[in-house]
Every structure is written in structure tokens, then in C-alpha cells.
Amino acid sequence: MSDAAAPALPPVPRRTLESLGARFGPSYRWLVTVAAMIGTIATILSSTIVNVALPDVMGAFGIGQDEAQLLSTGFLAAVTGTMLLNAWLVDSFGCRATYAGSVALFLVGSAVSGLAPNEGLLIAGRILQGASAGMLQPLAMQIIFQVFPPEKRGSAMGIYAVGIVLAPALGPTIGGLMVDNYGWRSVFFLAVPFSLIGLAMGLVFMPDRAGEGPRRRFDSLGFLLLILALAALLTGLSSGQQQGWGSKRVDMELGIALLAALGFLAWEWRCPAPLLNPRIFLHRGFAGAFAVALVYGACIFGTTYLLPLFVQTVQGYTATRAGLVLMPAGLILVAVFPIAGRLADRVPVWQPIAAGLLLFALSCWLLRGVHTDTPFWTLALWILVGRVGLGLAMPSMNAGALRALPPRFLGQGAGGINFARQFGGALGVNLLSIWLERHVELHAQALTATQDGGGAATLDYLRMVQGMLAQEGVPATELLAGSYEYLGRAVQAQAAMLGFRDGFLAVAVACLVAVLPALALRRGRSAESPAPGTPLRAGAG
């Protein structure tokens, strides 16, 4: 029998943006956009859907607010830590493989979270979910920016913003319905069917790796320094709540975070293939957008954390009602984003950004007036004003950041601006949680000092409470102790309300400060304009 050489198999054609565009025609840009956004929305929905479930989770596992907030900050920290991996992953493996792997990781994280027998595994599952969301967000932004021509990229960023902001905005509403009807574990399985649809579409419409050359070396040292900085910072902030801010442990953890962050920046500057090239900050427009994105993320995720907690713990809302108060604000974004996207193509980008930040500052200033009897629709209207502002700002912020960069930095810019927003979100939730706890304690101490039992108002209040307890059949021997216990609860509720007010005021001030870097976008356009159809060399430069 002869050893005749087997005929060579024809090479498998690469799935490039150009070949896929030729295959599917003009509709391809919308098909790949839908595929990218389904996966992105499914993962980002999980960022806030758990917020209304926090009281139930705290009760189920017997944990306090300081541990429960790790379900939010752990997710956001994982998003932040993996977001900068996107440029390397896309450059090394292509959009299709990166997308499929990220969605698969999200499905694993959802299963771990939904079946977790303790808070440790629940937090671990949330971290897996966050890691997948971090890799997907810049990918969707890059794909959309690539398939649309320059004159429509602002509108394209409006489409992208729908998923990035609408999903976390509607998360509490959907989560509340799920918690009240099916239990808190159900919120972790809600996005699974959508993830599977997104995975199937991504395998069909996402392009393969753009180049055929050798893969870039992974910046492992930079990644380790970044993870160390994030972990040490968030651990230090959590430890400060539990052990006090003057403890040696807190000082050590925050010191490690600072040293790791400085080491990360120094290494990225000299690394031949960095996760985040510091040179993109030499472009003034991008640096301004980055600073705005930090505050933007802190505002949207911070307030989305505070609001459900306020209405459930202070006003006594159910999880469903807590979610519904955010629904009008989420729905208005559907109308705002297309308008904001067109504005990003027609007016200087700094104008919608500044206007949006001022609207959100106004919203938080109004929320500073909340009290235990604030009507549902008043709250909903105040929240809606802020979401209109954020919807107005986001497309211009994204488009302005990428327009300010030359084409070789497009992938770095997409990852960097998303990194800024998510890092701002993780930091904002943590800092607002700390701010809330400390200010509630300060207000409780101040109010308790005024309730010495000798004041006329206090005595009248105690007598009124004793009369109410007597009508309920409480024995006379227990009336005095019962009235003092009721007074203590009233003082604590008043302190909590004042603490939330202080939190909303802090967000309003942050938004006003963020208007200053937004002005840097007035002259932020790069001399080099990205051309349509530029190959996805995400990590170049």
C-alpha cells in the first residue's frame, strides 16, 4: 500500500468584519450590535438587580450591611479588574472567542450565586459574574464603534448606552418582583436565558481575531498589581468600617493599595504591551472624559445602591415597591438615549455632559429633602430628573473619549473609559456605604443627647406612646420600658433618614465638581480620526 500524501484541507476562512459584512449585507451592523448588547445587558443587569435583595440576603445568612455591600462592591471590583483584559483578549483570541468565554463565565457565576449555601460562595459567584461583565462591556463598545461610520458613532454610542445604563436602572424593579414572588435566589437566574441567546448570536455574528501574527505577551505583572491594588483598597475600606479607621490593619491595607497602584502606573509606562497605556492620558479630551466617567460611575451605582436601601429600611417598602420607584427613571432613558446620541453627533460633546451632570446634581439635591413620608411619585420624579441627566451625558462621554484618541489607541480607550466608570462605581458604593454608616451614627448620637427624658417634648412623646401601648393591652408595669424602646427606635429611624440625606448631598457635590473636567473636552478631538472599518487591533499602541 503506497504512502500517498493526503490532499491538504482548504484553510478555514477567517471571519472578519469585512467578510461578515459582505455575507449579511447592510443589516450586519445591527445584527452584531444586537448580539453584543444582549450579552452585555444580561451581565450588567446583575450589577444592580441584587440591591433590592440585600435585606433578604442579610436575614438569610445573618450578616450586616458591611458584609452585604460586598455583593455589590465585589461585583463592581471584578468588573473593574477584568475590564482592562479586554484589549489583550480581543487582540489575542478575537471578539468571537472573547465573547463566548465571557458569557460562559457569567453562566457559571450565576449558578454559583443562585445555589450558594453561605455568604462566602455567594460573594465568589458575584465576583465571577462581575469578571464576565468587565470583559464584555468594552467589547460591545468597540464592535459598535467599528461597524458604524464616523458620522453615526454618536448615535451608536446612544445604542450602547441603552444597555449600559438601562440594565442597571431597571435591575431593582425586576429584582423586586423576583424577590417578592420567587425568593432572593431567583434574581441570579433571571439573566441566564438571555445569556444563552446572546451566546448563540455571538458565535454567528462576532468576528474572529483580526490579525494572523503572533499574540501579544500578556502583561501579567501589570494585571497582578492592578488586582492587588483593587483588592487591598476595597478590603481596607471594608476593614475600616469593622475595625475603625485608626487600626494598623487598615493603614497597612490602604498603604499596600497605594504602593500597588503606583507600581502599576510605573510598570504600565515602560511595559511594551500594557493593559492600560498611560500615554492615552496625554490626550486632554480622553483624560477629561476619564475623570467624568469616574464620577459618573460613582453616581449611578452609588445612588442605585442607596435608593432601594432607603425606601426599604426607612420607609418600609417591599422589594417590589422599592424596584418600582426606580422604574419611571429607567423607562425614560429609552426616550433620552436616541436624542442624546444624535446630540453627540451634532453639538460639542462637553455640552451634553455638563448639562447631564448638572441635572443629576439637581436630582440629588432634591433627594436631600427625603423623609419618612415622602410620597412615592415625588421620589420617582426626583430620581427621573437624575436619570435624564445621566442618559444625556453618557453617549457624549463615550464618543468624546474615543474621538480624542488616534486609531492605534481605540481599544485602550474603550477599555479605559469603561474601567473608569466601573472603578468609580465600586469606589462610590463603598464610600457611600461608609459615609452612610458614619453619618447615621453621628446623627444618632446627636439626637440621643437631646432625649434625656426631662424635656417637655420628650415627656409628651413618651406619654403618647404609653397611651398607645396601653390601648394595645401592654401591662402597666411594662409601659415605661416599652415607651423608651419605642423612642430609641424612632431616634434610630430619624438618624438613618438624616444619614441618607447626607449621602445624596455628597453625590450632588461630586457631580458639580465633575463639570470641571468635562470642560476639557472642548478641545479634545484627536488630529487623527478613526476610519470606518479599522481592524480591531484592540491592544495596539
Instruction: Say if CB 34 and CB 201 are below 8 A apart.
Output: yes
The Cα 536–Cα 160 span in angstroms is 18
- Grid cell of 331 as nine digits: 423607562
Position 150 scores a pLDDT of: 74
Secondary structure of 202-235 as H, E, C letters: HHHHCCCCCCCCCCCCCCHHHHHHHHHHHHHHHH
Residue ranges per domain, the chain? 17-207+273-445+492-523, 219-272
- Grid cell of 281 as nine digits: 492620558
The Cα 187–Cα 113 span in angstroms is 9
pLDDT tens sequence for the chain (541 residues): 445 554 554 445 567 777 787 788 888 888 888 888 888 888 777 777 777 787 788 888 877 766 777 777 778 778 887 887 877 888 788 888 888 999 999 999 998 988 888 888 888 898 898 888 888 877 887 787 778 777 777 677 667 766 666 676 677 778 888 888 888 888 888 888 888 888 898 888 888 876 666 777 888 898 899 889 988 887 888 777 677 777 888 889 889 999 999 999 899 888 887 888 888 888 888 888 898 999 988 888 888 888 888 888 888 888 788 878 878 887 787 778 778 877 877 888 888 888 999 999 999 999 988 888 888 999 999 999 988 898 888 878 877 887 778 877 777 787 788 788 888 888 888 888 888 888 888 877 777 666 655 556 665 655 666 666 666 666 666 665 666 565 556 666 778 888 888 989 999 999 999 888 888 777 644 444 444 344 433 333 3
**∠444-450-455 over CA atoms, to 5°?**
145
Position 541 scores a pLDDT of: 34
**CB proximity list for 257: less than 8 A, separation 6 or greater:** 228, 229, 230, 232, 233, 236
The label of the residue with cell 420567587 reads: 182
Position 472 scores a pLDDT of: 66
- Grid cell of 477 as nine digits: 408595669
- Closest to 301 in 3D by CA, of 424, 178, 398: 424
Task: Say yes or no: domain 17-207+273-445+492-523 is CATH 1.20.1250.20.
Answer: yes
Interaxial angle between packed helices 479-518 and 410-450, expressed in degrees from 0 to 180 and rounded to the nearest 10: 150
Q: Identify the helix (H) or strand (E) that includes residue 208.
A: none
End-to-end CA distance of the chain: 55
Query: Is this structure's pTM higher than 0.85?
Result: no
Position 532 scores a pLDDT of: 39
The Cα 358–Cα 105 span in angstroms is 38
Position 534 scores a pLDDT of: 41
- Closest to 341 in 3D by CA, of 33, 35, 28: 33
Distances (CA, A) of 17 to 61, 127, 212: 48, 32, 15
Report which residue type is found at 388: V
